[in-house]
Chain A
Amino acid sequence: MSRKDQKFGGVSRRTLLRAGAGLAGGVVLPSALTMPAFAVGVADKPPIGTWPAGSEGDTVNVAAAVPRTGTYAVQGEDELKGWQLAVEHINNGDPLLKKIAPKVSKGLLGKKVNLLSADSAAKPNQAVQEIQTFINQNKIVLMTGSTSSAVAVALNKFAQREKVLYVTGISGSNDTTGKDCVRYGFRQNFYGETAANAIGPVLVKQFGKNRKAAFMTPDYTYGHTVTKSVNDYLTKNAGWTMVTNQISPLGTQDFSQYLTNIANSGAEFLVNVNWGRDAVLSIQQAKQFGILPKMTLVVPYQIPFLAKETGPELTAGVYAATDFWWTLEDKYPLAKMFVEAFDKKYGYKPEWGANNAYMSFAIWAKMVSEADSLYPPDVIKQYEKGEKFDSTVGEVYFRKEDHQLVRPVIIVKGKAPKDMKNKEDYWEVLEVVPGAPLMQKPDAFGCNLGDYT
């Protein structure tokens, strides 16, 4: 730990030295007003983060630290494709991107966008180190990545410290735009609280009150907050009881100990909050132990490729809350354009991770082009205007108090193999639940955004 700190300390020292004393004045002091003579930025804007150094050429770099190995590798790969497609669309002024960001025309503010990426293996330390390297060497103007909220929270704090904008990849924890929110971070996707408030009423309507549920929870911020939100909804509104909560570390392979406890718990429902490969293995093994189909499986925070990996026999009839499913193309014109473009380039229907990645970059391009500036505080203020715009799930807007996108949550139900119209027709969209009523009050989870500069 101390070695890492020293390394970071060393890096920032070098950066400061390289930038010179005047730049140092602008970065270190809270306001440029105290040292106006030393400000070297444009007009009244002192240099901040990688600005203006990263925005001066005819190319701007953006970077993703995304898991390509480990428990979330499958989902990370899908996300990366979403970012790649978005960058391609920004650079060639694709009609879909222009529907979201009308002011973008072949590049951003006349500059080409270049995407860099590195494998984070869903580990926070690794992700932070990689992004640090991209900041130092490539002067990136935007960072992304995370398929784990532990990474999202770490990058949030890092973004705020380095004053470089961060849009989250997949992150389901309440904390990301709750107690760990930052001025420099923005989240496009749904999260524990909205997932719980969207799927809760469906479960109660379908299965009634006073039922017994066993939870499976991965042991980090995502797992704990999603389990809490779902359990709170079910206990408070319908008298359900959590008979056991089996907490397993990220990357568990053999779930037999946890499943034995669940088999002996007397539960009627298995609420599985595990994610990525953990979810696949725990569901397959629950079947081996005969827990499924004896108990009813519920997936409150949908996992891309789950049905493909477990086989639709195991997800048939399962209720899940999700961010996007490709059959929404029947409902939203932008979704149709996105699914077609993605399928054409990559040869399969995008999952919600890819959609989230695409949308988060498209929205960033929108904000930059409308602010007509890459100066981070200008871009942040553009987000914070909270203007409504069209997306692949209809009209959405950012909440200025916590930088969370107000967007619908999609409730889906697994299709039985016989009902599937094609090999990717795994889920049926039951409901598109409007986002605003699902959200907590902006300050309920302790969000304090921090400073612009």
Chain B
Amino acid sequence: MINWANFISQCFNGLVLGALLALVASGLTIIYGTLGVLNLAHGAMFMLGGYAGWLAYSYTESFIAAVFAGTIFVMIVGVLVERVIIRHFYQRPHEDQLLVTFGLGIVFVETVRFFFGSLSKTVPPPSALVGITPLGFMFYPTYRLALLGIVAVALLALYVVLYRTRIGMIVRAGIEDSVMVDSLGIDVYKVFMLVFGIGAMAAGFAGIVNAPVVSIAPDVGEAILVQTFVVVVIGGVGSFPGAILGGLIAGEIISITSMFNPGYSYVMLFVAMTLVLVLRPYGLLGTAGRE
């Protein structure tokens, strides 16, 4: 079992899983970094992306339409949620923020279950990406290979927005010190709304592009939320590069451990998180003192 072909295959699995985790975690981490709100409904938004996309697919039979629908829908949900609910919680204690986002997550999941039931729904990949691709050392599902590219492009787009635009500069400044940004005359609440929308959009996009790999069900976001938190802790809270590094590390730990004994893959993930917390409490690429 432990041979080179298997090892390289597992590294590859880790890369695909890690890229997905990085994308979801980057949404979570910029929301937390900017707004100071830990969004426990992030997993539910991942799920909503999948369902909105699936619904669009069942009417249009177009994967591209599904991706757009999933992404845009969740972005709108994110903006609405921020305007209607979250903004009332900025001044309230963290526990209240956790409770309200946790509650929102339950509402989203159960609403979807009410309308669509618990049976898994499948969104097939575009026909060009069906099947398996020989890579020499192994065969790999074509869509998973493509997913790696799709997620990389999405992360690059996020990077450009955050690091190469004026709005991104404001967002990053907000992560460092939102009070200072506010006193410079920038409407920080408008920025918060935008950040929540972008963060939710990242989750929604991940939810729909992952649907051909893991068929969707109302609980699909639950497991990914837990892994995403670990990624954020490892990478450093509020750090976009940290989310990417954390995601890749988490993906590789889960995959490579499972080559030896799958039962330990999550144990090793939490061991890694504990080590990071002990040695570098603010995360690998986080900044000390940032809340």
Q: Can you list 11 A-B contacts with CB-CB less than 8 angstroms, sorted by A residue number? A: A69-B219, A77-B117, A253-B214, A256-B16, A261-B6, A264-B1, A265-B1, A288-B141, A288-B144, A289-B132, A290-B132
Given contacts A77-B118, A258-B258, A281-B214, 7 further A-B contacts (CB under 8 A): A69-B219, A254-B213, A257-B258, A260-B13, A261-B259, A281-B215, A285-B213
Residues 215 to 262 of chain B near chain A (Cβ within 8 Å)? 215, 217-220, 222-224, 254-255, 258-259, 262
B17 beta carbon closer than 8 Å to chain A: yes
Nearest 5 A/B pairs, CB to CB? A257-B258, A73-B118, A288-B141, A290-B132, A256-B13
Known: A70-B219, A288-B143. A254 touches B17 (CB 8 A): yes
Known: A264-B5, A264-B6. A284 touches B122 (CB 8 A): yes
Interface residue total, chain A, C-beta cutoff 8 A: 37
B278 beta carbon closer than 8 Å to chain A: no
Contact indicator A257/B265 (Cβ below 8 Å): yes
Question: Chain A residues near B215 (CB, 8 Å)?
Answer: 280-281, 284, 309
Question: Chain A residues near B3 (CB, 8 Å)?
Answer: 264
Contact indicator B119/A308 (Cβ below 8 Å): yes
Residues 271 to 326 of chain A near chain B (Cβ within 8 Å)? 277, 280-281, 284-285, 288-290, 305, 308-309, 311
Most buried by A among B1, B139, B220, B262: B262
A216 to chain B: closest residue by CB: B262
Contact indicator B220/A253 (Cβ below 8 Å): yes
A247 to B220, CA, bound (A): 20
Question: What does the 1/0 interface line of A97-119 toward B look like (CB < 8 Å)?
Answer: 00000000000000000000000
A244 beta carbon closer than 8 Å to chain B: yes
Question: Chain A residues near B258 (CB, 8 Å)?
Answer: 257-258, 261
Q: Which residues of A contact B (CB under 8 A)?
A: 68-71, 73-74, 77, 219, 244, 246-249, 251-254, 256-258, 260-261, 263-265, 277, 280-281, 284-285, 288-290, 305, 308-309, 311
Question: Chain A residues near B141 (CB, 8 Å)?
Answer: 288-290
- Select which of B119, B222, B254 is within 8 A of A257 by beta carbon: B254
Question: What does the 1/0 interface line of B127-144 toward A look like (CB < 8 Å)?
Answer: 000001000001111011
Question: Chain A residues near B13 (CB, 8 Å)?
Answer: 256-257, 260
A247 to B258, CA, bound (A): 9
A77 to B119, CA, bound (A): 10
A30 to B144, CA, bound (A): 63
A302 to B13, CA, bound (A): 29
B164 beta carbon closer than 8 Å to chain A: no
Question: What does the 1/0 interface line of B1-14 toward A look like (CB < 8 Å)?
Answer: 10101100110010
Contact indicator A261/B213 (Cβ below 8 Å): no
Known: A73-B118, A263-B139, A285-B213. A258 touches B262 (CB 8 A): yes
- Select which of A73, A249, A285, A308 is within 8 A of B219 by beta carbon: A73
Question: Chain B residues near A264 (CB, 8 Å)?
Answer: 1, 3, 5-6, 9, 138
B189 beta carbon closer than 8 Å to chain A: no
A287 to chain B: closest residue by CB: B141
B120 beta carbon closer than 8 Å to chain A: yes
Contact indicator A257/B1 (Cβ below 8 Å): no
Question: Chain B residues near A258 (CB, 8 Å)?
Answer: 258, 262
Contact indicator B9/A309 (Cβ below 8 Å): no
Q: Is the interface of A mostly helix, strand, loop or mixed?
A: mixed
Q: How far is the CB of B279 from chain A (nearest CB, A)?
A: 27
Question: Chain A residues near B223 (CB, 8 Å)?
Answer: 251-253
Contact indicator A288/B213 (Cβ below 8 Å): yes
- Select which of B16, B262, B266 is within 8 A of A247 by beta carbon: B262
A288 to B212, CA, bound (A): 10
Q: How far is the CB of B13 from chain A (nearest CB, A)?
A: 4
Residues 1 to 57 of chain B near chain A (Cβ within 8 Å)? 1, 3, 5-6, 9-10, 13, 16-17
Question: Chain B residues near A263 (CB, 8 Å)?
Answer: 9, 138-139
B254 to chain A: closest residue by CB: A257
Question: Chain B residues near A285 (CB, 8 Å)?
Answer: 213-214
Contact indicator A257/B217 (Cβ below 8 Å): no
B94 beta carbon closer than 8 Å to chain A: no
A252 to B227, CA, bound (A): 12
A69 to chain B: closest residue by CB: B219
B185 beta carbon closer than 8 Å to chain A: no
Q: How far is the CB of B24 from chain A (nearest CB, A)?
A: 13
B93 beta carbon closer than 8 Å to chain A: no
Contact indicator B144/A309 (Cβ below 8 Å): no
B290 beta carbon closer than 8 Å to chain A: no
Question: Chain A residues near B117 (CB, 8 Å)?
Answer: 74, 77
Contact indicator B119/A74 (Cβ below 8 Å): yes
A69 to B118, CA, bound (A): 8
A213 to B13, CA, bound (A): 23
A281 to B219, CA, bound (A): 13
Known: A257-B10, A257-B262. A280 touches B1 (CB 8 A): no
Q: How far is the CB of A60 from chain B (nearest CB, A)?
A: 30
Residues 200 to 217 of chain B near chain A (Cβ within 8 Å)? 213-215, 217
Question: Chain B residues near A289 (CB, 8 Å)?
Answer: 132, 139-141
A248 to B263, CA, bound (A): 6
B16 to chain A: closest residue by CB: A256
Question: What does the 1/0 interface line of B260-291 toward A look like (CB < 8 Å)?
Answer: 00110110000000000000000000000000
A278 to B81, CA, bound (A): 32
A261 to chain B: closest residue by CB: B1
Question: Chain A residues near B222 (CB, 8 Å)?
Answer: 70, 251
Question: Chain B residues near A251 (CB, 8 Å)?
Answer: 222-223
- Select which of B9, B122, B265 is within 8 A of A260 by beta carbon: B9
Contact indicator A290/B139 (Cβ below 8 Å): yes
- Select which of A219, A249, A260, A280 is within 8 A of B6 by beta carbon: A260
Q: How far is the CB of B164 from chain A (nearest CB, A)?
A: 32
Q: How far is the CB of B21 from chain A (nearest CB, A)?
A: 10
Question: Chain A residues near B113 (CB, 8 Å)?
Answer: 69, 73
Q: How far is the CB of A120 from chain B (nearest CB, A)?
A: 14
Question: Chain A residues near B132 (CB, 8 Å)?
Answer: 288-290
A246 to B139, CA, bound (A): 19
Question: Chain B residues near A247 (CB, 8 Å)?
Answer: 262-263
Question: Chain A residues near B5 (CB, 8 Å)?
Answer: 264
Question: Chain A residues near B259 (CB, 8 Å)?
Answer: 257, 260-261
Q: How far is the CB of A273 from chain B (nearest CB, A)?
A: 14
Q: How far is the CB of A75 from chain B (nearest CB, A)?
A: 9
Q: How far is the CB of A357 from chain B (nearest CB, A)?
A: 17
A289 to chain B: closest residue by CB: B141
Most buried by A among B5, B113, B214: B214
Question: Chain B residues near A69 (CB, 8 Å)?
Answer: 109, 113, 118, 218-219
Most buried by B among A249, A256, A265, A305: A256
Contact indicator B6/A71 (Cβ below 8 Å): no
